Amino acid sequence: MSERELTRLEVIQRVKRKTLKQRQAAELLSITVRQVKRLCQAYQGSGAAGLISKRRGQPSNNRLPEKTINKARQSLRARYPDFGPTLATEKLALEGVSLSVETVRQVLIGEGFWKAKAVRRPVIHQLRERRARFGRAGADRRLTT
């Protein structure tokens, strides 16, 4: 169990022992009272395992089909190994493979055709005092000498 799930387990156990109210538990966990009730029911039915996400270890619902990725990978290897991500995305779209630029970039990096650019460190300029001007506070004293 993760740290977050352990905290959730402790809070739900306190709610079940009636040492903590559901509203207070909701505030501690940053969820709604309704979700606390749902977690209490899951804990009562399955114990600690009921509080663990059922999606753990499963691929995302938004994941692209492996068939599409493989088709793009083959086209990039065969025809577009020296293209950048944007142009490669446009060429793949003409072939009927619709992917985002970022997805194509990740495929190109995975194939070794594209290297991620190094992040530049910002240049820090030394601050300097403003130049004294006549009429500014303290400026006329310096100009009279």
In tens, the pLDDT along 2-56 reads 788 888 899 999 999 999 999 999 999 899 999 999 999 999 998 888 888 888 8
The answer to whether residues 39 and 75 belong to one domain is: no
**Structure-token match 């079940």, residue found:** 16
Q: Has residue 145 been placed in a domain?
A: no
The answer to whether residues 47 and 7 belong to one domain is: yes
Q: Has residue 71 been placed in a domain?
A: yes
Which is higher by pLDDT, 89 or 117? 89
Tell me: pLDDT of 139 over 80. no
Q: Which helix (H) or strand (E) holds 15?
A: helix 3-16
- Amino acid in position 105: R
Residue 71 tokens read as 């088709």
Q: Quick check: 113 and 107 in contact, CB under 8 A?
A: no
Q: Has residue 72 been placed in a domain?
A: yes
| pLDDT tier, 60 (very low <50, low <70, confident <90, very high otherwise) | confident
Residue 32 tokens read as 């709604």
pLDDT of residue 104: 94
| pLDDT tier, 143 (very low <50, low <70, confident <90, very high otherwise) | low
Q: The pTM is what?
A: 0.53
Q: Has residue 59 been placed in a domain?
A: no
The SS3 of residue 89 is: helix
pLDDT of residue 50: 86
Residue 14's domain comprises: 3-51
The answer to whether residues 14 and 40 belong to one domain is: yes
pLDDT of residue 102: 94
- From CA 143, how far away is CA 125, in angstroms rounded? 28
Tell me: pLDDT of 141 over 90. no
The answer to whether residues 74 and 105 belong to one domain is: yes
Q: What's the structural domain count of the chain?
A: 2
Tell me: pLDDT of 137 over 70. no
The answer to whether residues 107 and 84 belong to one domain is: yes
In tens, the pLDDT along 71-97 reads 999 999 999 989 999 999 999 999 999
